[in-house]
Structure 1
């Protein structure tokens, strides 16, 4: 397992370079778990999905932290629905347990997936076969929760310009049904508070980088 080390933010990193780095991880000889983190709207899901698609199902599987969102019914019951996405709105222990299983269990491990269309998780939606050499996991709090970092071989922190990140978040919320005003309120409120929490773990990443889809 690679020790975390501080790195300054790199210049925008092209996708082919990141793909080469992920491919080297998948050739390490034992299963590696690559974490991709950063504040909301940093492009974590996009990068993780592209890496896994380019490597192919024989070499990489994507397991998102968002599959461990508490269900909306539970968030409403506990009065946390308006803060969905905050650290205490996830099954943190469940996520840690899954990563531990991915490191040591010899058989197929099943993981949940988050469906944005229904704003809820689907249990056992992702199969991780024993022969998969690389698991890519992405989420906001990989460096905030201390029990998670030791379970990851590398962590990349995405650090895009703040305004570009906010604009992307607003567009995402609008695409999933919020009005422009509702989206701006959510991004400048809940999402920005979560971004501040995420930034506290930045220095524990192996790499801090920008990236370009070109």
Structure 2
């Protein structure tokens, strides 16, 4: 399934929205598979019909991760606020006339979530959200799936996915040896957890290294 097919499917989902009931499209998959890249491209193709609200806005702040002793596992399920994410998705499903919803973003340059960064106007029929754990069936994540109208699972050739992860960590300041160690011990542990959720997706989009769109710079 190519990008045009995916855009057409997302457009049909947006067209199925009704007054007071916005549609939510989730894009899941392991770290480095290309979720963010695809989500950004879909939102750009559906300008005026869709807004991207990433799950990464619900990363716990660095100070809280230090307090909890979880900084070396950043990106694991217990380094997010899934209850806050579910609450936002619930609000987004039922827009109120004249009232925008403000969602948080995640700034990789400072590795922190930024509250109130993404406005979602009430007339927008589709919200695209992407993240590793949209299909996770264990608490406290289990309720997320039922809040989403569709979830697509993105997968990429493992060697290429790992290469892109290492490159991304380097781009944002890690030494190569540190980046490789973090991918091996943290990202790949999360990837195995996410892979088990694949059967819960409505659609699986598998990219080869040649087919995958180039990674984003942020």
Is the structural similarity TM-score above 0.5? yes
Cα deviation for residue 23 of structure 1 reads 1.1
User: How many angstroms apart in 1 are the aligned matches of 2:165 and 2:17?
Assistant: 38
User: How many angstroms apart in 2 are the aligned matches of 1:29 and 1:111?
Assistant: 20
User: How many angstroms apart in 1 are the aligned matches of 2:12 and 2:206?
Assistant: 20
- Which of residues 143, 148, 156 is equivalent to 2:135? 143
Aligned to 1:198: 194
Tell me, yes or no, if structure 1 residue 48 matches structure 2 residue 55: no
Cα deviation for residue 29 of structure 1 reads 3.2
Aligned to 1:24: 12
Q: What SS does the corresponding residue of 2:53 show, helix, strand or coil? A: strand
User: How many angstroms apart in 2 are the aligned matches of 1:197 and 1:94?
Assistant: 21
Deviations 1:81-101 (Å, cap 9, x if unpaired)? 110000000011000000001
Structure with higher RCO (Cα < 8 A, 6+ apart): 1
Aligned to 2:168: 172
TM norm structure 2: 0.90
Unaligned runs of 5+ in 2: none
Tell me, yes or no, if structure 1 residue 35 matches structure 2 residue 26: yes
- Which of residues 77, 81, 85 is equivalent to 1:87? 77
User: How many angstroms apart in 2 are the aligned matches of 1:29 and 1:53?
Assistant: 19
Cα deviation for residue 17 of structure 1 reads 1.2
Cα deviation for residue 209 of structure 1 reads 1.3
User: How many angstroms apart in 2 are the aligned matches of 1:101 and 1:87?
Assistant: 22
Aligned to 1:69: 59
User: How many angstroms apart in 2 are the aligned matches of 1:172 and 1:109?
Assistant: 30
Runs of 4+ in structure 1 over 3 Å off: 211-214
TM norm structure 1: 0.91
Cα deviation for residue 116 of structure 1 reads 0.2
Cα deviation for residue 105 of structure 1 reads 3.6
Q: What SS does the corresponding residue of 1:159 show, helix, strand or coil? A: strand
What's the RMSD between the two structures over aligned residues? 1.1
Cα deviation for residue 50 of structure 1 reads 0.6
Deviations 1:38-93 (Å, cap 9, x if unpaired)? 0000000000001001111x100000000000000000011001100000000110
Equivalent residue pairs, number: 201
Q: What SS does the corresponding residue of 2:103 show, helix, strand or coil? A: strand
